[in-house]
Structure formats: structure tokens, C-alpha cells
Amino acid sequence: MLKTLDVLIGVTTVLLLFSMAVTVITQALSNISGSRGRHLRAGLTDLLQQLGIPAEETAKKIADSLLRHPLIAEGKRKLGTVIHREEFTKLVLDMASGVGAKKLEDDSQSALKKVLEDGGISNPEQALKNIRAMALQLETVNPELSNHVRDGLAILHEAPSDFVARVNSWFDQTMDRVSQRFTQSTHWITIGISIGVVVIVQLDIIAIADRLWVDDLVRDAIVSRAKTDFSSEESKTNARVDPKPYYDLLNSASLITLPTDQEWGSRLKDWRKVPGMVLAVLLLSLGAPFWYNALKDLLKLRSSLSQKDDAQRAARQSTTDNSPGTSSTTTGAGPQPDWLSGERGDLAAVG
């Protein structure tokens, strides 16, 4: 039982190490490319069209200006990745009024102002002033209310219109779809990076499992390091785990092949690796959090089984037993039952 569990721990540790690398690369590419901001801009574009902006290009320009607003943008030129419903409503009013920090082009401002007029807000600048005054009054009367609650109440009180009703009805659903699309996009990126990592190191997870099953030294080395690195509380952030010793061990055992190896190309041509590499890609795409939680559970289970195994071994090796119906003995043979007493059980009586 412990051997099977150790093999599972070893395989999970290997998958965790490489999935950590995949996760880091995925996050870096997402941040560099601004993927989350682009998905949010697409979602706001759809929302603005639903609110009445006729042209997609105009809606996209407005959404881009919203996410590049100084209060929303991440850095000087990067699109913002988070915008709340109350922030969206106030910024739309601010841009339509033309007096805020972020100015729209004339055609975009005219289209936005017309949408507000059709939705029941003829003077966006005055409506925004009334909202701020009401929010200040609510903060004076009810200081325990959070900021977004005060803003929401102020908008509902000072700008009760069809435009605000449509924003409140569709905003949350739009953000849910943005999150879903971003998750799907990130998952495909993760699969692509997993393919690259698996091909570069030639990670054959089936061969690793077979080797761990037959090679006690490699299995014990990986399990012992995993118990040290991933059992402590500090390892919850994965910040103190150094993957290099694991990579060196796997490379020396010929379980992975780095591009610096002269035999890298010839080993890649071995088609027997393909099933294990395909399986490794699928497993790595589950992500580092999944394998980290799985490893923690396996280590806890192993600790529990190991303690029980030690207790059972100690019981088997015990030389005394005071239970009824048995007599104590100090030999390594253990206690002698009553039915063996007498001449039949006494070898000295023979001859």
C-alpha cells in the first residue's frame, strides 16, 4: 500500500513542478499581452451596444477610454482589468458631460450623450453632481455603509432612469461572461504552453510512473524531498520550493531530457514516448493549484498510513501478550497458546 502511495506522490510531485512552470509562463504572457483587459474591453463593448450605441467601433472606443481612465487603468497605457458597476455608471456620465479627466472624440461623445437622453438622463453633468452630493450625505448619515453601497444608493436616488435600470440589469451578467471567456482563453494558452514544456523536456509521465515503481532509490529520493518541501506551512505559497534538485534528479535518471543533452533529438524521435507525453500535457493543463492540493492530501494520507504500519509492525514484533487464554514467553516466537501446552507442544519431551 505504501509503495503504491509513494508512486502516486512521486508522479504528483513531478506534475506539480512542471505545472508550476506552466502557470508562471501563462501568467507572464497574460500580463504582457493584456489578455484580461482586452476581454474586459470586449465585454464592455457588447454592454454599450446593448445600451444603445449603434456602431461597434464607437462602442469599442468608449470602452477603451473607460478602461484607460486614470482611475481604472493599470499603469499609463495598459487597459484596466477591473471595473465595478457604480464606477461604470459614473464614468459614463462623466465622459458624456465632457468635463472629466478623460475626453471622448466628438462622434463618440455625441453617441453616448444620445443614449443617455434616450434612457432618461438629459443632463449627465448635473446628474453626476447630484449623485456625488447624495453619496456625501449618505456617508454623513450612515458612515458604516461601504463605498459601493453608498454609490449604488446615490445613483438609484438621483438618477432613476431606464438607462440605470438597463445597466443594473445587464452589467453583472456581462462580467460573468467576460470571466468565462477569459478562463477559456487562458486554458487554451495553458494547453499550448504545456505542449511546449512537455516537448522541450520530453516529459513521459507513463515512463516516470514505471520507473518509480521499479526504482526504489529514485522513488524514495523524490518522496523524501516532497515531504520536506511541501509538508511545511511555508510551502503554501510555493515560494520556498526549489525545483532544480528535482530536475537534476529526473535528468540524471533519464526521465526527462533537456535540450542541452546531445541525445535530445534522437530521444524525441522515439514514438513510444508519445502516449505518455500526450497524457502529461492533459494533466499539466489542470494547473498547479490542483496538483498542489492533491500532493498535500497524499502526504497526509501517507503519514497516517505510515503511523498505522509502524504500530502494526510493533505489535507483530511484541514478545509479551497478557490476553486471556495465553501464557507469556520471552522468546522471539511470541506467546504460546494453551492448546500447545503438555507433551504435544513440548519438543523436549520427544525422545
* pLDDT in the model for residue 330: 45
Residue 196 has pLDDT above 90, yes or no: yes
Q: Which residues have C-beta within 8 Å of that of residue 45, sequence separation ≥ 6?
A: 56, 59, 60, 63
- Between residues 228 and 64, the one the model is more confident about: 64
Residue 241 has pLDDT above 90, yes or no: no
Distance of alpha carbon 13 from alpha carbon 296, whole angstroms? 10
Range of weakest confidence among 123-127, 252-256, 311-315, 347-351 = 347-351
Distance of CA 338 to the CA centre of its chain: 63
Residue 39 has pLDDT above 90, yes or no: yes
Cβ atoms of residues 109 and 137 within 8 Å: no
Cβ atoms of residues 56 and 122 within 8 Å: no
Backbone angles phi, psi at 326, to 5 degrees: -130, 155
Burial class (CB in 10 A: 0-12, 13-18, 19+), 163: buried
DSSP string, 118-180: HTT-S-HHHHHHHHHHHHHHHHHH-TTS-HHHHHHHHHHHH--SHHHHHHHHHHHHHHHHHHH
Cβ atoms of residues 174 and 47 within 8 Å: yes
| Residue percentage of the chain with pLDDT more than 90 | 37
Give the mean pLDDT of 105-126: 90
Give the mean pLDDT of 15-27: 91
Residue 333 has pLDDT above 60, yes or no: no
Nearest residue to 128 via CA among 167, 99, 90: 90
Give the mean pLDDT of 176-189: 93
pLDDT band at 41 (very low <50, low <70, confident <90, very high): very high
- Between residues 268 and 213, the one the model is more confident about: 213
- Between residues 287 and 237, the one the model is more confident about: 287
Residue 177 has pLDDT above 50, yes or no: yes
Give the mean pLDDT of 150-156: 91
Residue 182 has pLDDT above 90, yes or no: yes
Q: Which residues have C-beta within 8 Å of that of residue 179, sequence separation ≥ 6?
A: none
* pLDDT in the model for residue 327: 47
pLDDT band at 335 (very low <50, low <70, confident <90, very high): low
Nearest residue to 283 via CA among 5, 8, 32: 8
Residue 351 has pLDDT above 60, yes or no: no
Give the mean pLDDT of 171-182: 93
Burial class (CB in 10 A: 0-12, 13-18, 19+), 176: exposed
Looking at the whole model, is its pTM more than 0.75? no
Give the mean pLDDT of 263-281: 84
Task: Assign residue 245 a region (left: φ > 0; alpha: ψ between -120 and 50; beta: otherwise).
Answer: alpha
Range of weakest confidence among 26-40, 168-182, 230-244 = 230-244
Range of weakest confidence among 281-285, 306-310, 341-345 = 341-345
pLDDT band at 264 (very low <50, low <70, confident <90, very high): confident
Q: What is the dihedral of CA 180, 185, 188, 193, to 10 degrees?
A: -130
Residue 295 has pLDDT above 50, yes or no: yes
Mean pLDDT of the chain: 83
